[in-house]
Amino acid sequence: MQPDRLAHEVEARLRAAELTYDHVGSTADVLPSGYHHLTRQKVVGRGTARFSDAALAVLGWQVQLRSGIEVSSSSPTVRPGAVAMLVIHAGPIKLSAPCRVVYLIDEPNRQGFAYGTLPGHPESGEEAFVVERADDDSVSLKITVFSKPVSTLNRLAGPLGRLAQSKVTDRYFRSLAEATGAP
């Protein structure tokens, strides 16, 4: 399962767009005030092979694709500055969520990235996906988000919007298990 290639005109428009929030890169540090915060971490296996498989899945957009989100990207794998259009289906509603990769983590025991929102995204903020292998050889996926609604629909959704974000996060963990063959 691969992301679709963004059309050249869409890619050019997204590359020229400014991020819709301040505090770029804050999912790697202290989450900024004024946003909803979500941080979840789950062990997804053990060992070098599981770490490699999970990192490849995260950096290949598999967490999003296998969770039912359509991904069109400027790159088949995550790269700094890559832009993507995520399309999320919520029943009869189809939400487009343009974003840009704002940082990449490429360390021996930590691999991942964060993307930030671009104009047209229903939220404003950042989301990070980081796979880490701990000293005890356990491998975990950590998802960190700070966001606030910007679209009228998302503002009206209120607590239901946060519930939907939590459900999507649950799907991300399941999709990583599917992508890596984890139980």
- What pLDDT does residue 158 have? 56
- The encoded tokens of residue 126 equal 């950042």
Confidence of residue 89 (pLDDT cuts 50, 70, 90): confident
Residue whose pair of structure tokens reads 């609604």 in the numeric block: 149
In sequence order, what are the residues at sequence separation of 6 or more whose Cβ sits closer than 8 angstroms to the Cβ of residue 133?
48, 51, 109, 110, 139
State what percent of residues in the chain have pLDDT above 90.
72
Q: Which domain holds residue 88?
A: 4-180
How confident is residue 144, by pLDDT bands cut at 50, 70 and 90? Answer: very high
Query: Residue 51: pLDDT above 80?
Result: yes
CATH assignment at residue 45: 3.30.530.20
Overall domain count for the chain: 1
Q: Look-up: residue for tokens 């930590």?
A: 110
Confidence of residue 91 (pLDDT cuts 50, 70, 90): confident
pTM: 0.91
**Other beta carbons less than 10 A from residue 17's beta carbon:** 15
57-70 pLDDT, tens digit each:
999 999 999 999 99
Three-state DSSP at 137 gives coil
Say whether 62 sits in a helix, a strand or coil: helix
One-letter amino acid at 46 equals R
Q: What b-and-e string marks burial along 149-183, b requiring 16 or more CB atoms within 10 Å of the CB?
A: bbeeebeebeeebeeebeebbebbbebbbbbbebe
